Amino acid sequence: MPRRSIHEVLILRVVSKGIFPFVLLFALYVQFHGDFGPGGGFQAGVIFAAGWVLYGLVFGLTELQKALPPRWVEIGTALGVLLYGGIGVWSMFAHGAFLDYNVLDHHSTVHGQHRGVFWVELGVGITVASVMIGIFYGFAGRRRVR
């Protein structure tokens, strides 16, 4: 019996298509509840990237790049770093130190802390997810040299 490619296994394709949105949803849960419990930007970014890597492994690199173009991954990497650094610069313009969240809300330092942690963790999550997907693109796109 000839070996089938992973792209031809119907059960794997159906199950992964059903799991994919829940993986992304769980990543969003970890991202937005990271300041109240375990999790945060790094964990959410890795989970989000793992969902896309699953999609790429099952459906192929070409289909993944149609769904999530490499240009978007590059933009996401830069956007996440800019968001992280931008919060630090914003806090300096508000007469605080770099990443001093207390100055981000003039009415309440607690709200400033929450706002700062939220945006910094979002930047970390976007960066980690984009870099992990970019690494997958780099390795999956390689060809065997003879």
Q: For residue 46, is it within any domain?
A: yes
Tell me the pLDDT of the chain averaged across its residues: 90
The total number of structural domains that make up the chain = 1
CA–CA separation, 1 and 32 (whole Å): 48
CA dihedral sign, ordered 107, 109, 111, 113: positive
> By percentage, how much of the chain surpasses pLDDT 90?
62
User: For residue 54, with 0-12 CB atoms within 10 Å meaning exposed, 13-18 middle and 19 or more buried, which class applies?
Assistant: middle
Q: Vertex 90, ends 77 and 107: CA angle to 5°?
A: 130
Q: What's the pTM?
A: 0.87
Which of the two residues, 30 and 38, has the higher pLDDT score? 30
pLDDT digits (tens, 9 = 90+) for 82-128: 999 999 999 999 888 998 888 888 888 888 888 888 899 999 999 99
Query: Is the pLDDT higher at 111 or at 18?
Result: 18
Task: Say whether pLDDT at 4 is over 80.
Answer: no
- Is residue 1 domain-resident? no
pLDDT at 15 over 70: yes
Q: Which of 52, 59, 54, 50 is nearest to 8 (CA)?
A: 59
Please state, in angstroms and rounded to a whole number, the distance separating the CA atoms of residues 134 and 127.
Answer: 10
What is the extent of the structural domain holding 12?
Answer: 6-140
Using the Cα atoms of residue 100, residue 101, residue 105 and residue 107 in order, give the sign of their dihedral: negative
Residue 58, domain member (yes or no) = yes
Q: What pLDDT score does 37 carry?
A: 67
Answer whether residue 118 is part of any domain: yes
| Banded model confidence at residue 9, pLDDT cuts 50, 70, 90 | confident
Residue 67 burial (CB count, 10 A) = 12
CA distance 24 to 19: 9
* 146 falls within a domain: no
| Structural domain contains residue 145 | no
Model pLDDT, residue 102: 87
Residue 43 lies in a domain: yes
Q: Which backbone phi and psi does 90 adopt, to 5 degrees?
A: -60, -45
